[in-house]
A and B are shown apart, each in its own frame.
Chain A
Amino acid sequence: MTSINVNGKTYELKDVPDDTPLLWVLRDHLGLTGTKYGCGVAECGVCTVHLDGVAIQSCVTEVGEVGDSKITTIEGLSEDGSHPVQKAWREHGVPQCGYCQVGQMMMAAAMLRSNDNPSDDDIDSEIWNICRCGTYPRIRAAIKSAAKEMQSK
């Protein structure tokens, strides 16, 4: 039996093979459907979660590899949608369909942890998620707003 820590809570996983992608464990076994499926091959970033604060693609991360690391999903990014990226996303009206935005925000939040003043080039290289609605200009603007808020704290 494997156990994993998600959003500060430990879950015992019964009858879940170790090679099951973390994505499907979160969604189908733990009912945490905020993390989405997009490609299954780490090409789109929709399934991004944090592993000890670092952005990873849960669709290619086997649950057996997680070990004692702490997983954070969108459900645990903040208690009430008040993380600076969530606030900036709201302020800039980023979401259209919204489906990829969870992954976009998780990616941005992880980047901002290590770099609270990202340049356009930083954003270009680190935020590679796909958005089929085409919200990239607003994501860029929202990341800059979130960075400003984080710097002022």
Chain B
Amino acid sequence: MSSTLQSQKGVTRRGFLAGVSAGSLVLMAKVSSGQDVAVADAAKADVESFNPDLFVSIAPDGTVSILAHRSEMGTGIRTSLPRVVADELEADWDRVKIVQAIGDKRLGDQNTDGSNSIRFFFDRMRVAGATARTMLERAAAQKWGVSAQECSADNHRVVHSGSDRTIEFGQLVSIARTLDVPPADQLKMKSPSKYRYIGKDTPITDMDDILTGKAIYGIDARMDNQLFAVIARPPVVGGTVKSFDATRAKKIPGVVDVVEIPKFTGAPVFQPLGGVAVCATSTWAAWQGRDALEIEWDEGSNASYDTDEFAKTLAESANKPGKTVRNHGDAPQRIADSSKVHKADYSVPHLSHAPMETPCAVADVKTEGDKVVACTVTAATQNPQAVQQAVGPAMGIKNEDVIVNVTLLGTGFGRKSKPDYCVEAAMLSRKMGRPVHVTWTREDDIHHDYFHTISHVHLEAAVDDAGMPTAWLGRAAYPTIGSTFNPLANEPAAFEVEMGLSDCPYDIPNLRVEVGQAQAHTRIGWLRSVAHIQQNFAVSSFADELASHAGRDPYEYLIELLGDDREIDLKATGLSNRGASAKDYPYDIGRLKAVTHRVAEMADWKRGKTLPKGRGLGIACCRAFLGYTGHVVEVEISKDGKLRIPKIWVCLDAGLIVSPDRVRAQVEGAAIMATTQARFGKISFKNGRVVQSNYDDYSMVTMSNAPREIIIDVVDSKAAPAGVGETTVPSLAPALCNAIFAATGKRIRDLPLSDHDLSWA
């Protein structure tokens, strides 16, 4: 089987498939459908289209096809990146077709995670568009016998400046395909003032399909002759099937077979938890069959995991000296010598992603004897290359021979970049000899997630007579994401600590950040904004506490704490800056202060002082995923403790913005997701098992208790594009809790709020 890359009918090997050896097959699939997959002869299709770049193809009828290689889970990225290509290409958006790419490492990073898509690919997409445009301009010049300098693309045609001549893109395809692809240094990029689509709004490309129920998600993906599977997984991570009786399950009408799935070996990584699968002719029959299984489990070493008990060991770990990850001056000594020291401990429980669409995938594995000869997976995945890397070894085939079609995702939040469910589908299809679709029930999803970690953060500060800190010590203890990949990993990793703790923006002469040990007893994963969730909650709450101790206004105190406008020295502080350069992405305290000033102004911060008891404003700011956010939250708390959030103000500086309305939507959604987590987010374990199981006991904010109004200002910036999706999550929870303090005098150090009595007299 040769390597493949999805394209669509009429699109050829050259361009979309640049670099693919002759004779390769082109996989053809409908955009965002994941069905009707067929293999076509590339040579045949190669006759017509112009394919100047891996991401662009232009057909003789003028249709511009643009490959979307990142996953659409609600950010609008399937629209935004193609818009960048179309803009540089001077294409008419109405004549652009978006083609969802399969997993293929030649496309670059496809892990739609870490708020990276625009940052990683803005320039790359511009090159794709400019390459095509330049070649079309040269083709027109050749056709007219004029200088290419006199030809310029304009809205899907090329115009000659020396005459009135114009020509449609489609009519240039036959000449353009014969030209050499210009090197990047010959490309002239559009001036930002000429941007047609970048910075302008348009409906997302899937809008009509979504509104009419035609949009295809992983749960909707279908292959001919497929079975539906529901799986009983070990209730404790690391557990195995001791024995099972499928007699009753097999009597359920529609049940075809019952199959055991082996547990992962070594670290969990993205391999299945194991268990027993029921394959049936419908989801419901499989589900009924699964519930009728009688299974005896060998629970393994995590069967005593109890988060109430574990929280105590985390608190101990965070309250004794740990491993230093950032240090300047001598904070511990200064604190020991100081007569005025404040200390506080903060905790956040495990959280579950609970994506609206549970993990779902369908796989078709073909075998000859014991050998797998073909494998296609269609899934709601944030990372089709990770699917290849997980399914390939499980099937004993090369990663690039796993064909991965990507559907729309009913949210992801990081859960769907971990493709254990795709491996389950492949294993079952191999066993059953026909396609198998795996659906996780909501209970499966809540019980068997890669959980956001459980954490404890300890903070101390020595303060001067004015109440400003002269020394600051932060120490975090939580099971690390690294434990999912290496069972020996037992303390927070540098990349995690950098999310809100070791990247502390405050200007304090003595500062130390340490980590304490913590062993994982479940699968730990990354969830939208990751360790920022617990660390910015602690740090921004503590700043508010220090302001209160000093008798100062929290906003004015915060600004003073941030210090002078300056760039944090990344090298000296040992910060990785998410791999981004200090030149393109400086850690700019001036920008952080600017969003904080702006949000205070938007909220009319001074008004907070005049509010009656039970009402209050809270403020927090942070730099996350290279972008800057300021939040002000207003709360109303009734005497009996009922919390209402009438208004939230957000100022975001994420550098250059491609799709303003989608950015605002992300900011709104982040505020609401962060509100859900702060109010209700708590996954607990007893006897190694997750206690919660569905939305009734793992609650979500809904219309009636969501923030009523979210007022957003996005900074107009020419700076390099930063992250958005996760950037505005972290400062919401501390701003909310700071508002609760302002309203009631109650300081919340342990989330969620639903564990607290907010009543006041």
Contact = CB atoms under 8 A, between A and B. Distances in A.
Nearest to A132: B356
Nearest to B280: A28
Interface in A94-153: 95-102, 105, 123-125, 127-140
Contacts of A28: 228, 282-284
Nearest to A140: B703
Contacts of A131: 356, 672
B212 A86 contact: yes
Given A135-B669, A136-B672, A137-B668, A36 B282 contact: no
Interface in B196-228: 201, 203-204, 206-208, 210-217, 219-220, 228
Contacts of B695: 38-39, 41, 43-44, 130
B211 A41 contact: no
A97 B212 contact: no
A75 B212 contact: yes
B670 interface: yes
A35 interface: yes
A73 interface: yes
A43 B693 CA distance: 12
Interface stretch (B52-60, B70-78, B554-562, B598-606): B70-78
A96 B724 CA distance: 14
Interface string A16-60: 010011001001110011111111110110100000000000000
B442 to A, nearest CB: 5
B411 A99 contact: yes
B344 interface: no
A99 B357 CA distance: 7
Nearest to A17: B253
Contacts of B357: 36, 38, 97, 99
Report the interface size class on chain B: 35 or more
B333 interface: no
A43 B694 contact: yes
A97 B73 contact: yes
B703 A123 contact: yes
A38 B443 CA distance: 10
A96 B74 contact: yes
Contact of A132 (B216, B673, B709): B673
B282 A99 contact: no
A134 B710 CA distance: 11
Contacts, number: 177
B286 to A, nearest CB: 10
Interface string B400-416: 00000000111101000
Given A90-B207, A129-B702, A132-B356, A102 B283 contact: no
Interface string B261-289: 00000000000000000000011100000
A128 B700 CA distance: 10
Interface residues of A, number: 57
A46 B410 CA distance: 11
Nearest to B214: A34
Interface string B550-586: 0000000000000000000000000000000000000
A28 B180 CA distance: 51
Contacts of A34: 212-214
Contact of B74 (A29, A105, A133): A133
B283 A137 contact: no
A71 interface: no
B356 A130 contact: yes
Contact of B203 (A15, A90, A140): A90
B696 interface: yes
Nearest to A37: B219
B283 A27 contact: yes
B284 A74 contact: no
Interface in B239-279: 253-254
A138 B204 CA distance: 15
A15 B358 CA distance: 27
B356 A100 contact: yes
B429 to A, nearest CB: 18
B408 A97 contact: yes
Interface in A1-27: 15, 17, 20-21, 24, 27
B439 interface: yes
B167 interface: no
Contacts of B668: 134-135, 137-138
A95 B219 contact: no
B356 A38 contact: yes
Nearest to A35: B213
A91 to B, nearest CB: 9
Interface string B349-369: 000001111100000000000
Nearest to B218: A99
A87 B214 CA distance: 16
B254 A99 contact: no
Given A28-B283, A134-B672, A138-B668, A74 B254 contact: no
B40 interface: no
Given A24-B284, A33-B220, A95 B211 contact: yes
Nearest to B410: A99
A81 B356 contact: no
A97 B409 contact: yes
Interface in B301-357: 354-357
Given A38-B356, A95-B211, A43 B669 contact: no
B665 interface: yes
A96 B76 contact: yes
B707 to A, nearest CB: 8
Contact of A101 (B76, B210, B694): B210
B544 to A, nearest CB: 24
B595 to A, nearest CB: 20
A79 to B, nearest CB: 9
B671 interface: yes
A34 B662 CA distance: 24
A38 B696 CA distance: 12
Contacts of B662: 93
Nearest to B216: A33
B661 A93 contact: yes
A29 B442 contact: no
A106 B13 CA distance: 43
A139 B703 contact: yes
A94 to B, nearest CB: 9
Given A134-B670, A137-B709, A138-B668, A40 B211 contact: no
B748 interface: no
B539 to A, nearest CB: 24
Given A134-B672, A137-B710, A36 B219 contact: yes
Contacts of B354: 132
Contacts of A24: 282-284
A74 B703 contact: no
- The winner among B213, B700, B707 for most chain A CB atoms within 10 A is B213
Nearest to B664: A93
Contacts of B186: none
A26 to B, nearest CB: 10
Interface of B: 72-76, 201, 203-204, 206-208, 210-217, 219-220, 228, 253-254, 282-284, 354-358, 408-411, 413, 439, 441-443, 661-662, 665-666, 668-673, 694-696, 700-704, 706-710
30 contacts: A15-B253, A20-B282, A20-B284, A21-B284, A27-B220, A28-B228, A33-B216, A39-B696, A44-B700, A90-B211, A93-B662, A95-B210, A96-B75, A97-B73, A97-B356, A97-B409, A97-B410, A97-B411, A98-B74, A98-B215, A99-B410, A99-B411, A123-B703, A125-B704, A128-B704, A132-B356, A132-B673, A133-B356, A136-B706, A140-B703
Interface of A: 15, 17, 20-21, 24, 27-29, 32-41, 43-44, 46, 73-75, 78, 80-81, 86, 89-90, 93, 95-102, 105, 123-125, 127-140
Given A15-B253, A39-B442, A99-B217, 10 more contacts: A33-B216, A40-B441, A40-B694, A74-B213, A102-B213, A132-B356, A134-B672, A134-B701, A137-B709, A140-B703
A-B pairs, top 10 by smallest CB distance, nearest first, are A34-B213, A134-B672, A99-B410, A97-B74, A98-B210, A96-B74, A74-B213, A134-B669, A124-B704, A24-B284
